[in-house]
């Protein structure tokens, strides 16, 4: 897991400098004092220790012990995201209520799941969750990958019961626009194949709904072959479920600075687990091939493809 004390999640930056410059705290001890105060005043929780803390861009995750068990305290200083974070946090309680393994937030003394508080460097959007133990998903364990696929289908089923705005975002138009204006041409054969598949694509017969949009190893905890927690609903968006499955297939093994492609075998296993709960329609199965290719092509970061993303684009994705 993550080291004790203060660290960066993925950036090659001095964590003490990031803590001071981004959040206004002088050191980890001052963070502990602030957390102890605000959790007592706002949540009625008594903090007994703060063990570790990671900074990720404008966000913080801190682990603490309390009189009500081990906690995870999350906050963000990105004001433009406060509304979105509040909305995504409010999803956790109804999703957990449908049996999906997610951490249900501790409610504040006035029954809110997320609040904006004053920190030494400015306003912070804060939520407090119970810590769920487990190991990050290992894509080398097929039983975990299969269970993750089944769990993603359960997440989709739960999120599908929650009403959300349904913006008009046609996947064919989205990918055509990407090919015309954003494709960097690092894998031209894959780009040509994507265009061919797109031209013959059927109408996607599935309604848009809320989807997780960041379902991968860094956000999935396991014990043995069981999924113990799905983390981080902060990137939830409205999309087709098969698009979320494809994105998960491409990025399933990624964790923090460990950013490498997913093999065809892992993609197949993830899909099998998913379809054990929710089978794909014929149109969705065709679109899965298209969307796997698109997400995989978008991940190719340079002409020499140092991480090997292009090497898995044509490895029997369906």
Q: What is the pLDDT of residue 256?
A: 87
Q: How many Cβ atoms from other residues are within 10 Å of residue 90's Cβ?
A: 16
- In the chain, DSSP finds a helix count (H) and a strand count (E) of 9, 11
Q: How many Cβ atoms from other residues are within 10 Å of residue 110's Cβ?
A: 7
Mean pLDDT, the chain, rounded, equals 95
The rounded distance, in Å, linking the Cα atoms of 233 and 89 is 7
Q: Is the pLDDT of residue 316 over 60?
A: no
Distances (CA, A) of 150 to 110, 146, 159, 197, 247: 36, 6, 14, 27, 15
213 pLDDT tier (thresholds 50, 70, 90): very high
Is the distance from CB of 271 to CB of 260 less than 8 angstroms? Answer: no
Alpha helices, DSSP H only, in 45-141? 82-97
What domains are defined for the chain? 5-130 (3.30.200.20), 135-312 (3.90.1200.10)
Percentage above 90 pLDDT, the chain: 90
* Predicted confidence (pLDDT) per residue in 122-174, tens digit: 999 999 999 999 999 999 999 999 999 999 999 999 999 998 776 667 899 99
Query: What are the φ and ψ backbone dihedral angles of 107, each rounded to 5 degrees?
Result: -75, 145
* Predicted confidence (pLDDT) per residue in 62-108, tens digit: 999 999 999 999 999 999 999 999 999 999 999 999 999 999 999 99
Backbone conformation region of residue 305, classed left if phi is above 0, alpha if psi is from -120 to 50, else beta: left
* Predicted confidence (pLDDT) per residue in 254-286, tens digit: 998 888 899 999 999 999 999 999 999 999 999
Q: Is the pLDDT of residue 1 over 70?
A: no
Give the CA angle between residues 311, 316, 317 to the nearest 5°.
85
Biggest CA-to-CA distance, the chain: 60
Is the distance from CB of 23 to CB of 120 less than 8 angstroms? Answer: yes
Is the distance from CB of 113 to CB of 127 less than 8 angstroms? Answer: yes
Q: What is the pLDDT of residue 167?
A: 67
Whole-model pTM over 0.75: yes
Is the distance from CB of 236 to CB of 210 less than 8 angstroms? Answer: yes
Q: What is the pLDDT of residue 318?
A: 40
48 pLDDT tier (thresholds 50, 70, 90): very high
Determine which helix (DSSP H) or strand (DSSP E) holds 171, and give its type and residue range: helix 171-181
């Amino acid at each position: 897991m993550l080291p004790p004390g203060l660290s960066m999640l993925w950036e090659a930056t001095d964590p003490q400098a990031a803590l001071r410059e981004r959040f206004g705290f002088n050191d980890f001890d001052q963070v502990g004092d602030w957390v102890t105060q605000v959790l007592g005043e706002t949540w009625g929780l008594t903090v007994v220790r703060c063990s570790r803390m990671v900074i990720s861009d404008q966000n913080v995750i801190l682990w603490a012990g309390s009189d009500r068990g081990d906690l995870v305290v999350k906050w963000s200083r990105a004001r433009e995201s406060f509304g979105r974070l509040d909305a995504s946090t409010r999803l956790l309680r109804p999703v957990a209520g449908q049996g999906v393994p997610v951490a249900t937030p501790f409610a504040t003394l006035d029954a809110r799941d997320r609040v904006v508080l004053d920190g030494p460097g400015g306003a912070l959007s804060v939520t407090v969750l119970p810590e769920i133990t487990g190991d990050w998903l290992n894509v080398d364990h097929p039983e975990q990958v299969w269970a993750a696929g089944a769990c993603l289908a359960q997440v989709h089923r739960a999120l599908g019961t929650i009403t959300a705005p349904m913006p008009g975002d046609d996947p064919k138009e989205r990918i055509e626009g990407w090919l015309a204006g954003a494709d960097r041409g690092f894998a031209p054969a894959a780009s040509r194949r994507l265009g061919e598949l797109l031209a013959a694509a059927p109408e996607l017969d599935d309604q848009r709904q809320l989807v997780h949009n960041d379902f991968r190893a860094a956000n999935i905890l396991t014990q043995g072959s069981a999924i113990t927690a799905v983390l981080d609903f902060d990137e939830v968006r409205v999309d087709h479920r098969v698009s979320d499955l494809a994105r998960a297939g491409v990025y399933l093994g990624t964790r923090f600075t460990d950013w490498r492609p997913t093999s065809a075998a892992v993609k197949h296993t993830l899909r099998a687990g998913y379809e054990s709960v929710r089978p794909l329609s014929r149109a969705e199965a065709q679109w899965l091939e298209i969307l796997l290719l698109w997400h995989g092509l978008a991940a190719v970061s340079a002409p020499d493809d140092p991480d090997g993303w292009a090497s898995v684009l044509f490895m029997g994705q369906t």
